[in-house]
């Protein structure tokens, strides 16, 4: 795993894994979407993004709650930039073509913990849906 990956991206990756696993199914489509998001956000290579995703899977599996990840992100990302985090979460939630109630609830919780209001989260979801078609 590359040491130049910022800790905020580790927290984001773990949060994306948590969203993907919220519906009880974590498949290749969701994993590939997480890797894609990580590559685009920080210009990581495929192998770096895959390594970060694997690390995030381990971290997420051991975490008792979502607060651990959102606290780290809140400390490292200015409020104005946190909507981008919510967009990343929506990209993962919509990766498999199904938006489940559990994923919605996890994103709602994450948005609240990050200080992103429901309106901004809904707008982020619409932007992602428009990009994904």
Q: What is the CATH number of the domain that holds 88?
A: 1.10.3680.10
pLDDT at 25: 86
pLDDT at 38: 94
User: For the whole model, what pTM was predicted?
Assistant: 0.91
Least Cα distance to 1 among 43, 40, 44 occurs for 44
Residue 96 lies in a domain: yes
Is 107:42 a contact under the CB 8 Å cutoff?
A: no
Least Cα distance to 94 among 41, 34, 52 occurs for 34
Cα 87–chain centre separation? 8
pLDDT digits (tens, 9 = 90+) for 50-78: 999 999 999 999 999 999 999 999 999 99
Give the residue-averaged pLDDT of 114-129: 96
Residue 2 lies in a domain: no
pLDDT at 91: 95
Give the residue-averaged pLDDT of 70-91: 94
Domain residues for the domain of 98 are 7-132
Residues 6+ apart with CB under 8 A from 12: 38, 41, 69, 73, 85, 88
Quick check: 45 pLDDT over 70?
Answer: yes
Q: Reduce the DSSP state of residue 123 to 3 states and report it.
A: helix
């Amino acid at each position: 795993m590359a040491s130049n990956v910022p800790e905020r991206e580790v927290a984001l990756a773990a949060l994306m894994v948590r969203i993907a696993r919220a519906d009880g199914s974590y498949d290749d489509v969701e994993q590939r979407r997480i890797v894609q998001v990580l590559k685009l956000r920080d210009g990581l290579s495929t192998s770096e993004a895959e390594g970060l995703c694997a690390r995030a899977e381990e971290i997420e599996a051991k975490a008792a709650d979502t607060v651990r990840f959102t606290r780290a992100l809140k400390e490292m990302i200015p409020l104005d930039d946190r909507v981008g985090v919510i967009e990343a979460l929506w990209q993962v939630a919509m990766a498999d073509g199904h938006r489940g109630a559990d994923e919605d609830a996890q994103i709602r919780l994450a948005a609240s913990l990050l200080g992103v209001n429901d309106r901004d989260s809904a707008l982020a979801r619409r932007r992602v849906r428009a990009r994904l078609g």
